[in-house]
């Protein structure tokens, strides 16, 4: 407990020193470089509720209690969501897919996100759910994958496995090392 208080005081003192040092005419680039050297975010946002629209149509909602912006990194700029994230995407028919997780790090240059902890991806229209502990999400190709254990629940099946690939809405799935009963429609 005492050590925690000490770290908080030390952090506050560091921020005050940074503010004093850089308030005397240093440019933004110097402040960004200092923060990057100390592994501090360039920005922090709390209780974020971001809505992305295109042509007046809501495409994505992002909700998070805390966002750290590390875009001041030269080689691998990223945003970090250390207290969890909820992302809801909507298609043209207003059907939605929701992703929730305990932690996410999104790399700005590549559009790749690493998502960790109690991950649930839900396709509300198809009533399918994916559960796993780690997932990589390529926002450019709209593709998700993991090599970790997963559970996929569909309208007819509950499939356990290790290794999973799919598009974001779970409609085109490739699974590895699976177990559990799988319903097969022989008429198709």
Q: What Cα–Cα distance (Å) separates residue 166 from each residue in 2, 159, 186?
A: 47, 14, 23
Number of H helices, E strands in the chain: 2, 11
Q: In tens digits, what is the pLDDT along the chain, a chain of 188 residues?
A: 433 333 344 444 444 444 544 555 556 666 656 655 567 899 999 999 999 999 889 999 999 999 999 998 888 999 999 999 999 999 888 889 999 999 999 999 999 999 999 999 999 999 999 999 999 999 999 999 999 999 999 998 899 999 999 999 998 999 999 987 767 777 65
Measured in degrees and rounded to the nearest 5, phi and psi for residue 34 equal -65, -45
| Domains of the chain by residue range | 1-40, 42-175
Q: What is the pLDDT of residue 2?
A: 37
Instruction: Please spell the DSSP secondary structure of 17-69, one letter per residue.
Output: HHHHHHTSS--HHHHHHHHHHTT--SEEEEEEEEEEEETTEEEEEEEEEEEEE
CATH homologous superfamily of 42-175 equals: Lipopolysaccharide (LPS) transport protein A like domain (2.60.450.10)
Q: What is the pLDDT of residue 75?
A: 85
């Amino acid at each position: 407990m005492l050590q925690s208080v000490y770290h908080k005081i030390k952090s506050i003192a560091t921020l005050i020193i940074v503010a004093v040092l850089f308030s005397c005419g240093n440019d933004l680039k110097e402040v960004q470089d200092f923060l990057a050297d100390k592994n501090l975010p360039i920005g922090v946002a709390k209780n974020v509720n971001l809505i992305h629209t295109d042509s007046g149509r809501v495409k994505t909602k992002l909700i998070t209690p805390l966002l750290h912006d590390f875009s001041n990194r030269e080689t691998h700029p990223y945003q970090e969501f250390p207290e969890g994230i909820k992302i809801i995407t909507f298609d043209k028919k207003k059907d939605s897919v929701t992703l929730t997780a305990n932690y996410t790090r999104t790399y700005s240059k590549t559009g790749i996100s690493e998502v960790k902890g109690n991950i649930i991806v839900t396709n509300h229209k198809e009533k399918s759910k994916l559960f796993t502990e780690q997932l990589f999400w390529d926002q450019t190709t709209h593709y998700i994958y993991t090599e970790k254990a997963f559970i996929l629940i569909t309208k007819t099946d509950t499939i356990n496995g290790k290794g999973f690939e799919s598009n974001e809405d779970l409609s085109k799935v490739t699974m590895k090392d699976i177990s559990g009963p799988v319903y097969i429609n022989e008429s198709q």
